[in-house]
A and B are shown apart, each in its own frame.
Chain A
């Protein structure tokens, strides 16, 4: 393992993040506050409680998940797409590094950024609502796994994308709808029975549900299923990455 190379990639990627630290920090704080004002105040005054939890607190895990997923995805996809776009990928390809090391560097950095933003959102949320975390270790584990697996997916998208439109299209057309329909802002038990069945095909439901369980000890689907779902998702991403590595797809001509 070329650890120095992994460290170099990781540091270089984090530098990009630190250059825009204020933006990276401010935008989640602002958007979280807006969510609380809009959802918490407007809807919360009508819904008040979901399954015994104040609505404001109820949406926190979903809110964190939403941001963490989109951030991990966009940071990782942009991180590897940008060198392809401006041509600096030549250096990665000509360096004594394996594909695995490149993946660890980029995915690690993207997951770190997403984790940071998740933490900022949690901290912001704690100003608005009382938060208690029932299973802290599980909470951290879910958060880490989500950051990591969505960064992997983002990396795949970044390798696949041939232009900026393609870079945006998967997050926009697939991930965002899945996240919004994945019970981030409601409990799936609030849906009509048919829709309750349909949402079970949405992988994000399992992630949000498991994450919410780690806060409040209650879930839409059994927690074991959540773990299984995230394990399967991670495995699927790793398989694709392994295949890219074997074939050099879209990297080496």
Chain B
């Protein structure tokens, strides 16, 4: 599948000399959801701002569906919708008017049915004639999304869409993202919530200090870097790890009922067989066995810390 968004060696040095992007290259396929993870100041917003035309790049190129974002900015930008990180809305304007405005600004004819549809999908229809300043923070964020969707973009950027949003609204947003994906929209979102990336992304990119450390399919990433844990639950608690099991580098839970064994799935020999044999030989009676995959969060922390060290 051809890339809908193609970023080549993008660099940005702000006035004052801060190098926010140090050569980022990335291809994004049509219809995928890419989550960009990275600590504060990593350059996520800078990257998005350049693609959307808010900031100018120092060097490098970006094309959207083959259109260069500088030379063919009209064609490129018409395909893009942006939900910015900071809520910025005209306080005295009515919800419906601001959404209509966005549609017009992107060169689309007025279409009240379309605007109604967007507002309904975001549960804003009841508040369509409210002034923006009368809305709660979460609703304002929905208005930003409605504005970004008003011109039917093919690529949607969500810059921390769920920052400061309650659990329920976050779930709603994930649902909206899933619907958009189903309708063929490509979505790039940044987030600090790793569970978010885990829940909705197809691919995950990790960016730190202006460099893209990796981009990989979420499942593969977790498989590649993921460590697993085996938890052995015992029928009767034990006070300490029996000497016969010492060579396995086990951890005993505080209540003495569970033995926790960490292993690498990629390894040829995981050591599970030997462990279970020794457990049986030690005369311990098993009640349950379960495994747990380490989360993206663990991977992320490892990566970013590894890079900073």
Contact = CB atoms under 8 A, between A and B. Distances in A.
Query: Bound pair: A and B?
Result: yes
A12 B94 CA distance: 11
B287 interface: no
A19 B92 contact: yes
Contacts of B15: 253
B56 interface: yes
B90 A2 contact: no
Interface string A6-29: 011101100110010000000000
Given A19-B92, A253-B55, A94 B80 contact: yes
B88 A90 contact: yes
Nearest to B100: A8
Interface string B45-82: 00000001111100000000000000001111110101
A137 interface: no
B106 A93 contact: no
Given A8-B101, A11-B104, A253-B14, A94 B90 contact: no
A139 interface: no
A97 interface: yes
Interface string B129-166: 00000000000000000010000000000000000000
B121 interface: no
Interface string A80-97: 001100111011111111
Contacts of B147: 91
Contacts of A252: 53-56
A207 to B, nearest CB: 33
A91 B99 CA distance: 11
A2 B74 contact: yes
Nearest to A3: B107
Contact of A5 (B86, B92, B105): B105
Contacts, number: 81
B109 A4 contact: yes
Contacts of B76: 96
Given A12-B97, A86-B88, A91 B53 contact: no
A91 B56 contact: no
Interface string A82-126: 110011101111111110000000000000000000000000000
B34 to A, nearest CB: 19
A248 interface: yes
Contacts of A87: 84, 86, 88
Nearest to A16: B92
Contacts of B93: 12, 15
A221 B100 CA distance: 49
Nearest to A82: B90
A94 B104 contact: no
A169 to B, nearest CB: 24
B77 A88 contact: no
B108 interface: yes
Contacts of B109: 4
A86 B91 contact: yes
Contacts of A8: 100-101, 103-105
A9 to B, nearest CB: 7
Contacts of B53: 93-94, 252
A102 to B, nearest CB: 10
Interface in B11-31: 14-15
B91 A91 contact: no
Given A86-B88, A90-B82, 10 more contacts: A4-B108, A7-B104, A16-B92, A87-B86, A88-B89, A90-B52, A91-B105, A252-B54, A252-B55, A253-B56
12 contacts: A4-B109, A5-B104, A5-B107, A7-B104, A8-B105, A9-B105, A12-B90, A82-B90, A83-B90, A88-B90, A96-B75, A96-B106
Interface of B: 14-15, 52-56, 73-78, 80, 82, 84, 86, 88-93, 97, 100-109, 147
Interface of A: 2, 4-5, 7-9, 11-12, 15-16, 19, 82-83, 86-88, 90-98, 248, 252-253
